[in-house]
Amino acid sequence: MATFDFNSITKALSDNNRTTSGVDFSGKSLKLDTEKDAQPIVDAINKCPDLQYLTLTGNTLGVAAAQAIARALEHHPELKVARFSDMFTGRMKTEIPPALSALGDGMIAAGARLQSLDLSDNAFGPIGVEGLAKLLESEVCSQLQELRLNNNGLGITGGKLLAKALSSSPRRLKVFVAGRNRLENDGAKALAAVFQNMGTLEEVAMPQNGIYHVGITALSEAFRRNPRLSTLNLNDNTVGAKGAAALARALPSLKNLKTMNFGDCLLKSKGAKALAKAFKDNSHTLESLDLSHNEIGREACMEVVDSIMATDKLNKLVLAGNSLGGASNKKTIRDKLGSCAELSDGEGGSDDEYVTDSEEEDEGSDEEAESENEDSDSDDTQINESADIVRDVTLDSSGVEEIETDVGKFLREPTIENLNRLGSNAAEVIDTHLQSIKDTSDLIQAYVEATFCVSGLSDQNATAADVANQLYPLLIKRAGQRHAAAWILADAMLRGLGLIKSENKNYKIRWLLPPCFTCLGSVIEQAYFPGALRDTLRFFIASKLPLLPAATSAAINRAGALKQS
């Protein structure tokens, strides 16, 4: 680890007259697999005496390359900006957490204090957050002002893990970007709880996340605690009337709000009117407002226009894709707002482009539709689109008997007795039974569960241990025969070993974990075992070891092969 003087570092970082310098390898499309591949970047880092930024955007890093770069970073406590977007193209999801963890360890060892971290456009999903968590929780991010995680495929689980990492100690973010992540209500609520304690947010962008009014309401309450907020982008979420009402209640606290993007949010007339009333009743400094494609009726559109006319700073109001009425109505809007009004998509659009039969809409029917839309989410559950279709369908099942195979019974109830029923060639019987599964994900999941069901019995029965040792190479072989299956295999094994949580609420671990780790330890060094999978499993085992039950930890410690070398 590099040695350094904290006093000299603090003095250097506080010098505002320093010339910005750093290393930029953006857009070079380098494929960096090995330490040798990464050498040009390592050399550039080592030659830079004042590494304030490092940009690796548009290249692809493997674990060994990331570790080499990390060792170079250990000597640069002055690093402020890490631009690591679009950095894992073509990589398996299982490679990304160890690579992220290595880069984080390098910055932690250096004692760096990041101000900006960009990991956008890396589809690492929830397990990627596992590799990122240590960095976010460390002192390296104690002064972080910008966090950009756009298009990372976080999902609900990733959103919760991210919120947990950010809440480990006080954070003072100014910019938070996390669009296109399918955070949904639960992910949004988890992050909202973190935002409430910040009070420093100036820009929040969370478009295309499948958030309904429940999550929007939680976020709105958090925004009230962040009075410096100037830019808010919730485009393409289902805000609806209830969400709009919650946002309207927050507006009096947001005196610095300049840019709002609520396009494609299904506001409808009721939601638009709620926002219009808030604009009218409270002084505001809006410069740009996007309410496009929200099924807003003519009357509500006019209320929005009238409500924001008081500001002299407005330079853009987008109402395209709503029922604005005929040419005379649009002329009235343009006369009131001038060139800042955008009433159609693109150039050359007809004045009558969005005139529909709904321009004289019935307000009662609008409210009814809105209520139907949002009541489906009132219990914060997922919408079951097929429920109405199948509710009244009854199938005649008379004379039909369910036939359960011996393999099926064992997988449902993994006991020694049920395993013995499979005979002396149990591994072959299980393999034959499972090969009929067509879907790649389902097949790999089934092989992993079968392997763990048998492994869980290995401390009770020597035959079970032998069968488990026979199943592992079959599991690796069958997964290897399927296209792009490596990350599915790693994900299934991590969930089956209890090292990451499953997003499927019905997922249950039916096997004992300590003997599963013992069996894994006996095969993980075998030649057939993929190196990337071995590294990933060891990474997660090491990070989770202090949190595991005593019996499981003891089994891992006895199986030395499971520990990182």
Helix (H) / strand (E) containing 73: helix 63-73
SS3 state at 387: helix
pLDDT of residue 565: 62
Neighbouring residues of 250: CB distance < 8 A, sequence distance ≥ 6: 220, 221, 223, 224
Distance CA 548, CA 108 (A): 25
C-alpha span between 152 and 183 (Å, rounded): 10
Question: Is the CATH number 1.25.40.200 carried by domain 406-562?
Answer: yes
Indicate the SS3 state at residue 232.
strand
Beta bridge partners of 22: 53
Whole-angstrom CA distances from 178 to 118, 500, 505 are 11, 22, 24
pLDDT in tens, 117-150: 999 998 888 888 888 988 999 999 999 999 999 9
Q: Is the pLDDT of residue 187 over 90?
A: yes
The CATH fold of domain 1-144: 3.80.10
Is 449 within 8 Å of 407 (Cβ atoms)? no
Give the Cβ contact number of residue 367 at 10 Å.
Answer: 14
Residue bearing tokens 């007809």: 350
pLDDT grade for 376, boundaries at 50, 70 and 90: very low
Each domain of the chain, given as residue ranges in start order, spans 1-144, 406-562
pLDDT digits (tens, 9 = 90+) for 25-82: 998 999 999 999 999 999 999 999 999 999 999 999 999 999 999 999 999 999 999 9
Average model confidence (pLDDT) for the chain?
Answer: 84
Question: pTM for the complete prediction?
Answer: 0.68
Q: Distance (Å, rounded) from C-alpha 345 to C-alpha 50?
A: 47
In this structure, what are the phi and psi dihedrals at residue 462, rounded to the nearest 5 degrees?
-65, -30
